[in-house]
């Protein structure tokens, strides 16, 4: 009897800690609010601005935490959150007097209502998958959560912990966004809640479902958003991504590329915001870097001259955030870049057919490859690729090439490696196909060339 | 609305409906999707690690902060013990966790010989490593007796 009462008390305390941890995540929009409340973002819907505030706020919070580490300052929840707010205020100043018109209110038609219902169903399914222990990623325990928990206890990025020879499997060079944000929530909640951490998958998917429709070109935006959310939900459950770095990466990548194909893509404010989100993607996972570089490159090729201001807005946040991480690694003699599979051009090209077959098999075993096949099948309905659709399409092609290039590097049999990783890392490609179709379906506009870009102060 | 335009607008919705239906069908309805799982891995592809997760979480109640711990399996399995070490590091924060195996290779007893506590996933060891502190369906937690035990023999 006493043991059962004690178990109930422990479970209640655990649930409270989990709720606090997730509530801390839900408060991140406060960090990004000073930036997203600028009149330049008035053209976005309120739900999109709230979600973008959260995503940008999380990136600024992580940057503030990495900055604190570089300054040898121990983390304090209030101070790092305050520093993130100050960063947002500073970035707001860069936007000057840029203004935008509020979006016109459009009555929701049956198509939109059905699309929102499907998005809600996809999020509910992701929640059930995560909560029932069907979608948990072992990587949550292996390194994402383990590092975040340790860093929260040490109130810094714990160099001694990373240096331990028996902790090398934790990939000490992995960038800090996910562990920083998880550590922040852990400091606020008091301890790392393993069960609640799994729920970041449906939580961030819900954020995407709420924020994405307002960013996509108006025509059938909700329907295309529902398709992206459903593809990520199904692939995420089938590939066991709950709790790992995949969903934070996908949220940042999707929001960033949606901004780059939006009718406001030529605005300085939109480019700066996309740059901040891409900086988050780059510091979330290693594969965020090729994604960001490819997306920026295709965008800049299409952008009107002069391209330097747009390039600065897109790339400077990324350079600062990733530079700070590599500076941390170099000054602590931990790492000097990303560890690859051998040297850059030491390839095994004879393995190309095998690698392609293994990637195909890995995707086929993840929901029968439907999260990729359905967006591919729907793409032709949006018409021939044109305009901004080339940004996600070009990024998808570059990313696919990069993944295959990486898989050709390992001397040993890559079967296990590809089986484990391909379904997760190719989720970005599924999302990009949907954004390309959404952008294409909106009509023959060429947003990045159509408006003059006001220069930031 | 022209038919072609209707098809164009309905295509993403139809695609989303297909994916939502397949995603729903992929959930483990028969094993009680609404029931609270014992661990976050109970129904995942990595369900083989669930017993280790449950035991290590229970072990946290009886292993004090600052203690030196090793987690191993019975019978010895270096691959499983590699994962167990990683789980122990995550689930026993504040303790020093030593590996019984690393990257699928058993570590020599010198690496983990100074462990004060042993978490054993699987059957109770034939030669008890010390004083039994806790026993669950997944395994047992021991306070090691000074001078080592049978388990200090290298795993095969």
In tens, the pLDDT along A53-73 reads 999 999 999 999 999 999 999
Question: Residues A251-259: what's their mean pLDDT?
Answer: 98
Give which of A139, A136, A116, A141 is closest to A126, Cα–Cα. Answer: A136
Residue B114 near residue B97, CB atoms below 8 Å: no
Confidence of residue A457 (pLDDT cuts 50, 70, 90): very low
Give the start-end residues of each E strand in B23-102.
68-74, 96-99, 101-102
Q: Examine the pLDDT at A448 and tell me if it is beyond 70.
A: no
What's the pLDDT score for residue B143? 97
Q: Examine the pLDDT at A3 and tell me if it is beyond 80.
A: no
Instruction: Tell me, letter by letter, the H, E, C secondary structure of A73-133.
Output: CCCCHHHHHHHHHHHHHHHHHHCCCCCCCCCCCCCCCHHHHHHHHHHHHHHHHHHHHHHCC
What's the pLDDT score for residue A447? 41
What's the pLDDT score for residue A12? 82
Chain A CA closest to residue B14: A227
Scanning the structure block, which residue is given the tokens 């929102």?
A116
Confidence of residue B27 (pLDDT cuts 50, 70, 90): very high
Confidence of residue A227 (pLDDT cuts 50, 70, 90): very high
The closest CB to that of B19, out of A114, A146, A371, belongs to A371
What's the pLDDT score for residue B151? 52
What's the pLDDT score for residue A451? 40
What's the pLDDT score for residue B146? 66
Query: Residue B54 to residues A150, A208, A286, B57, B84: CA-CA distances in angstroms?
Result: 20, 33, 31, 5, 11
Cα separation of B76 and B129, whole Å? 14
**Which residues in B lie closer than 8 A to residue A368 (C-beta atoms)?**
22
Cα separation of A150 and A173, whole Å? 16
Question: Residues A76-95: what's their mean pLDDT?
Answer: 97
What's the pLDDT score for residue A450? 38
Which of B1, B3, B20 to probe the A interface (max A CBs under 10 A)? B20
Q: Kindly report which listed range (A8-12, A85-89, A413-417, B99-103) carries the lowest average pLDDT score.
A: A8-12
Q: pLDDT by residue (tens digit) across A375-402?
A: 999 999 888 888 899 999 999 999 999 9
Cα separation of A98 and A452, whole Å? 12
What's the pLDDT score for residue B31? 86
3-class state of residue B101 by DSSP: strand
- Touching A: B residues 69-88, CB under 8 Å: 83, 85-87
Question: Residues A109-125: what's their mean pLDDT?
Answer: 95
Over pLDDT 70: what percentage of chain A?
95
What's the pLDDT score for residue A452? 36
Residue A225 near residue A142, CB atoms below 8 Å: no
Cα separation of A289 and A225, whole Å? 24
CA distance A122 to chain B (A): 6
Q: Examine the pLDDT at A91 and tell me if it is beyond 70.
A: yes
Instruction: Give the containing element (helix H, strand E) for A248.
Output: helix A246-261
Q: Report ipTM (2 d.p.).
A: 0.92
User: What is the sign, positive or negative, of the torsion defined by CA atoms of A292, A295, A301, A304?
Assistant: negative
What's the pLDDT score for residue A338? 85
CA distance A220 to chain B (A): 6
What's the pLDDT score for residue A29? 98
Nearest-10 Cα torsion for A33, A38, A44, A49: 0
Confidence of residue B90 (pLDDT cuts 50, 70, 90): very high
Q: pLDDT by residue (tens digit) across B39-58?
A: 999 999 888 899 999 999 99
What's the pLDDT score for residue A428? 98
Q: Which residues contact A65 (CB under 8 A, 6 or more apart)?
A: A75, A80, A176, A180, A183, A184
The mean pLDDT value of chain A amounts to 92
3-class state of residue A136 by DSSP: strand
Give which of A431, A348, A353 is closest to A395, Cα–Cα. Answer: A431
Confidence of residue A108 (pLDDT cuts 50, 70, 90): confident
CA distance A108 to chain B (A): 14
- What pTM was computed for the model? 0.93
Cα separation of A427 and A121, whole Å? 19
Cα separation of A137 and B41, whole Å? 8
Residue A254 near residue A435, CB atoms below 8 Å: yes
- Please give the full DSSP string across A264-291, using - where no structure is assigned: TTTSHHHHHHHHHHHHHHHTT-TTHHHH
Query: Residue B31 to residues A194, A215, A231, A267, B42: CA-CA distances in angstroms?
Result: 22, 39, 24, 51, 10
Q: pLDDT by residue (tens digit) across A21-49?
A: 999 999 999 999 999 999 999 999 999 99
Give which of A291, A107, A115 is closest to A216, Cα–Cα. Answer: A115
User: Does B11 sit within 8 Å of A125, measured CB to CB?
Assistant: no
Instruction: Please give the angle made by the CA atoms of A388, A393 and A395, to the nearest 5 degrees.
Output: 105
**Which residues in B lie closer than 8 A to residue A142 (C-beta atoms)?**
86, 90
**Which of A371 and B35 is assigned the larger pLDDT?**
A371
Q: Please give the interface size between A and B, counted as residue pairs whose CB atoms are below 8 Å apart.
A: 167
Residue B88 near residue B97, CB atoms below 8 Å: yes
Q: pLDDT by residue (tens digit) across A390-437?
A: 999 999 999 999 999 999 988 788 899 999 999 999 999 999 999 999
- Please give the full DSSP string across A300-352, using - where no structure is assigned: HHHSPSP-HHHHHHHHHHHHHHHHHHHHHHHHTTS-SS---SS-TT---GGGH
Scanning the structure block, which residue is given the tokens 């570059």?
A398
What's the pLDDT score for residue A347? 82
Instruction: Give the containing element (helix H, strand E) for A232.
Output: helix A221-238
Question: Do the strands B105-106 and B96-99 form a parallel or antiparallel pair, or are they unpaired?
Answer: unpaired
As to burial, measured by CB atoms within 10 angstroms (0-12 exposed, 13-18 middle, 19+ buried), residue B50 is buried
**Which residues in A lie closer than 8 A to residue B68 (C-beta atoms)?**
none
Q: Which residues contact A15 (CB under 8 A, 6 or more apart)?
A: none
What's the pLDDT score for residue B145? 79
Instruction: Give the containing element (helix H, strand E) for A138.
Output: helix A138-139
């Amino acid at each position: 009897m006493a043991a059962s009462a004690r178990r109930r008390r422990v479970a209640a305390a655990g649930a409270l800690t989990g709720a606090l941890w997730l509530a801390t995540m839900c408060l991140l929009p406060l960090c990004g609010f000073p930036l997203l409340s600028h009149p330049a973002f008035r053209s976005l819907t309120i739900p999109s601005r709230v979600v973008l505030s959260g995503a940008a706020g999380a990136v600024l919070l992580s940057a503030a935490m990495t900055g604190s580490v570089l300054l040898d300052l121990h983390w304090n929840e209030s101070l790092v959150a305050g520093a993130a707010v100050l960063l947002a205020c500073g970035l707001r100043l860069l936007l000057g007097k840029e203004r935008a018109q509020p979006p016109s209110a459009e009555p929701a038609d049956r198509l939109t209502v059905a699309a929102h219902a499907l998005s809600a169903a996809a999020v509910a399914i992701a929640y059930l998958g995560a909560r029932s222990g069907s979608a948990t990623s072992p990587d949550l325990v292996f390194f994402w959560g383990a590092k975040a928990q340790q860093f929260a206890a040490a109130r810094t990025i714990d160099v001694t912990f990373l240096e331990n020879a028996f902790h090398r499997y934790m990939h000490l060079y992995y960038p800090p966004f996910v562990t920083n944000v998880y550590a922040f929530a852990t400091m606020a909640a008091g301890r790392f809640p393993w069960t609640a951490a799994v729920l970041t998958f449906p939580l961030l998917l819900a954020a995407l479902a709420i924020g994405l429709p307002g960013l996509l070109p108006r025509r059938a935006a909700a329907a295309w958003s529902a398709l992206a959310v459903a593809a990520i939900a199904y692939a995420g459950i089938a590939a066991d991504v709950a709790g790992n770095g995949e969903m934070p990466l996908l949220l940042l990548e999707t929001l960033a590329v949606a901004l780059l194909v939006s009718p406001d893509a030529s605005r300085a404010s939109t480019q700066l915001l996309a740059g901040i989100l891409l900086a988050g993607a780059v510091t979330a996972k290693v594969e965020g870097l090729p994604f960001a570089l490819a997306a920026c490159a295709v965008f800049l090729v299409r952008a009107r001259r002069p391209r330097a201001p747009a390039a600065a807005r897109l790339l400077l946040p990324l350079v600062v955030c990733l530079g700070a991480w590599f500076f941390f690694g170099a000054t602590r003699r931990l790492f000097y870049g990303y560890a690859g599979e051998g040297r850059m051009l030491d390839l095994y090209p004879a393995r190309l057919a095998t690698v392609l077959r293994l990637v195909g098999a890995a995707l086929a075993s993840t929901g029968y490859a439907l999260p990729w096949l359905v967006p591919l099948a729907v793409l032709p309905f949006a018409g021939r690729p044109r305009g901004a659709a080339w940004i996600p399409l070009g990024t998808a092609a570059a990313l696919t090439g990069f993944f295959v290039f990486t898989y050709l590097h390992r001397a040993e049999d890559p079967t296990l490696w590809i089986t484990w990783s391909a379904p997760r890392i190719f989720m970005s490609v599924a999302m990009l196909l949907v954004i390309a179709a959404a952008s294409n379906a909106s009509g023959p506009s060429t947003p990045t060339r159509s408006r003059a870009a006001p220069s930031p102060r | 609305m022209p038919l072609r335009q209707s098809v164009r607008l309905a295509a993403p919705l139809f695609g989303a409906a297909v994916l939502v239906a397949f995603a729903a069908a992929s959930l483990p309805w028969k094993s009680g999707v609404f029931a609270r799982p014992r661990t976050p891995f109970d129904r995942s592809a990595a369900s083989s690690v669930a017993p280790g997760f449950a035991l290590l979480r229970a072990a946290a109640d009886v292993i004090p902060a600052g203690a030196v711990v090793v987690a191993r399996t019975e019978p010895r399995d270096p691959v499983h013990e590699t994962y167990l070490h990683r789980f122990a590091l995550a689930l026993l924060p504040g303790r020093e966790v030593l590996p019984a195996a690393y990257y699928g290779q058993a570590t020599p007893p010198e690496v983990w010989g100074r462990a004060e506590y042993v978490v054993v996933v699987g059957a109770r060891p034939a030669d008890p490593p010390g004083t039994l502190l806790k026993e669950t369906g997944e395994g047992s937690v021991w306070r090691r007796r000074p001078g080592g035990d049978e388990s200090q023999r290298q795993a095969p």
